[in-house]
Amino acid sequence: MKDQPFILGINYWSQKTAMFMWRQFDRSSIKEDMATISDLGFSCVRIFPLWEHFQPKPKVVPPAMLDQLVEVLEMAGDRNLNVMVTLFTGHMNGLNWLPPWMLLASTERSQYKVFSMDKVRTNKIMNQYVDSEIIEAQIFFLRELTNAVSGHPALYAWDLGNEPSLWSIPPDAFSAELWLQAMTETLKEKDDTIPVTLGLHVNDLTESGGLKPRLVAKYLDYLAIHVPPRRGPWAEDPLDAALPPFLGCIVGWLGKIPVFVQDFGVATEPVLPKTSSREFRREADLVLVSEEDSAQITAEVLTRLRRFKMMGGVWKTYGDYHPSIWDWPPLDKRVSERFCGFVRSDGSPKLAASVLESRPTEPEEDEVSVEWIDLPEEDYYRDPRQQLSRLYRRFREYYSFD
């Protein structure tokens, strides 16, 4: 994997169905979208078999869902696109999308609510790392999926989860390791050549527990870190092109294996279809940038990801969502998520698409240094939140990104 070229990927949901894509499966529009993604210059598409739709009961994975998954791989493969299949989804755009058998009768206060059985809920979630029945159900799910698609030429990688620490945290490192070993060994049963990763959240870099990069790296082929949509007190500017490569460098330092940077990209001012009568309420904290600014940050991020030897980058969303589904969760509450696409809601490319038309020059080998990392890992974890902020300032200063 070290010798492969930089991989340019994009997250995919259908613009007219969003997270309900698998239940309202539109073959023709998905086929058209795969053609557009390929024409734009992407080489990889990351998809999400939504957990409740693909495993409504612990021992049930509907064959029709598996057939649709294979169809998407076929359509992507026909356009020479590789496919990264994200498992246990899990968290997505501000909601935790979980099957009902993962929920307890009790409720809890949490940052992210649950969407299950067509309703937003506050049920407490069972812990996927320690409950034996849940672990067995996950293994069953993985075997059903691998039986359906292993050996498919378009299958590039398995992604164990989309920011799983946002809905379930292992109680200790031992539980996390047992879970990782069980899941990765199951995925490797049919084909051990398909790489396995897991989409880490920034919380995994700042909290003392959870899925630390060094721990998960023992079981994965490469690491993946997601760029947070809300940058936080130490990186407030949505046009900060230094943040994605910085997070990639930190994860690579902590995990000691190759890194993919996922979910970068910013929401832009919408260009609505002429036939649309919809408007959106501009909330006080809503940050939307111009397409020109988005194109600029896209160019800078991609150049820097290559410069710092990341395996690849995955853009946040394929397309702005159609106004007809703005009332659907999570778009009803997360207004910015409507406009994070690489194409507009009418399917036309945004200005950032022009960035992909130019072929970047390869960076010099001596351009990358870790001299700005001035402490050992054990000192970092004594106060990871403070150290991450401090190292970010050092990173920007060292490379004169200010």
Tens of each residue's pLDDT in the chain, 402 residues: 445 789 999 999 999 999 999 999 999 999 999 999 999 999 999 999 999 999 999 999 999 999 999 999 999 999 999 999 999 998 999 999 999 999 999 998 888 999 999 999 999 999 999 999 999 999 999 999 999 999 999 999 999 999 999 999 999 999 999 999 999 999 999 999 999 999 999 999 998 777 999 999 999 999 999 998 777 777 778 789 999 999 999 999 999 999 999 999 999 999 876 656 666 666 666 889 999 999 999 999 999 999 999 999 999 999 999 999 999 999 999 999 999 999 999 999 999 999 987 655 555 444 678 899 999 999 999 999 999 999 999 999 999 987
Q: Is residue 401 part of a domain?
A: no
| Domain count within the chain | 1
CA distance 38 to 10: 10
CA distance 310 to 92: 24
Q: Is residue 393 part of a domain?
A: no
Encoded amino acid at 309, one letter: K
Q: Is residue 136 part of a domain?
A: yes
Helix axes 132-149, 63-78, angle to 10 degrees: 50
Residue 365 is predicted with a pLDDT of 47
Residue 1 is predicted with a pLDDT of 46
Residue 368 is predicted with a pLDDT of 73
Residue 277 is predicted with a pLDDT of 60
Q: Is residue 384 part of a domain?
A: no
Whole domain around residue 279: which residue ranges? Answer: 7-369
Q: Is residue 286 part of a domain?
A: yes
CA distance 402 to 393: 9
Please name which of 104, 107, 45 lies closest in space to residue 76, comparing C-alpha atoms: 45
**DSSP 3-state of 123:** strand
Domain containing residue 285: CATH number:
3.20.20.80
Q: Is residue 72 within 8 Å of residue 318, measured between CB atoms?
A: no
Q: Is residue 163 part of a domain?
A: yes
Q: Is residue 386 part of a domain?
A: no
Residue 14 is predicted with a pLDDT of 98
Q: Is residue 390 part of a domain?
A: no
Residue 280 is predicted with a pLDDT of 66
CA atoms within 13 A on the CB side of 335: 13
Tokens of 154: 């378009």
Residue 237 is predicted with a pLDDT of 80
